[in-house]
């Protein structure tokens, strides 16, 4: 709770909703047209997310809510590093390239709308959206 207001993270999604956003045969408005041989697969935009993981790690330590995740921010940081490391390894990215990385990944993490945990609407202390490759030394650099 924050100032007596219920907090929820979101938006909540189902796996089917997210699957409908990837590997589509047709572009959305604003995307390049399909090639003559139909070789493109389209991924549609991810909706923005909101979460409170960093806030929750130290907030109201007496809260007995079992879904109030004190380790969510720490877990999100591990996830960010793991995704970044996987991108660098799988795409053979040279982090010393003066032009920067050839590839970026950006993601959103959504609560599973169908999971019982999210039926209560209580705040949780998790959720994230981020990008890779990530390096704390790059903060503020273009």
**Model confidence pLDDT, tens digit, residues 7-46:** 678 899 999 999 999 989 999 998 889 888 988 899 999 9
Instruction: Give mean pLDDT, residues 69-84.
Output: 90
DSSP-derived secondary structure letter, 113: T
**Model confidence pLDDT, tens digit, residues 78-125:** 999 999 999 999 999 999 999 989 999 999 999 888 988 787 766 666
Could you give the CA distance from residue 98 to residue 88 in angstroms, rounded to a whole number?
15
Q: What is the pTM of this model?
A: 0.79
4 has pLDDT over 80: no
pLDDT at residue 1, as a whole number: 39
pLDDT at residue 5, as a whole number: 53
- C-beta separation of 104 from 132 below 8 A: yes
6 has pLDDT over 50: yes
Q: What are phi and psi of 55, to 5 degrees?
A: -65, -40
**Where does the pLDDT of residue 141 fall: very low under 50, low under 70, confident under 90, or very high at 90 and above?**
very low
DSSP 83-110: HHHHHHHHTT--TT-TT--S--EEEE--
């Amino acid at each position: 709770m924050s100032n007596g207001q219920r907090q929820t993270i979101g938006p909540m999604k189902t796996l089917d909703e997210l699957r409908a956003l990837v590997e589509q045969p047709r572009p959305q408005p604003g995307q390049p047209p399909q090639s003559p041989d139909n070789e493109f697969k389209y991924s549609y935009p991810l909706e923005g997310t909101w979460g409170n993981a960093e806030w929750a790690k130290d907030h109201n330590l007496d809260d007995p809510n079992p879904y109030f995740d004190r380790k969510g921010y720490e877990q999100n940081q591990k996830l960010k590093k793991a995704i970044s490391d996987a991108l660098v390894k799988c795409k053979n990215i040279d982090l010393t390239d003066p032009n920067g990385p050839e590839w970026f990944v950006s993601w959103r993490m959504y609560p599973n709308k169908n999971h019982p945990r999210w039926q209560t609407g209580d705040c949780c202390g998790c959720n994230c959206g981020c990008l890779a490759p990530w390096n704390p030394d790059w903060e503020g650099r273009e």
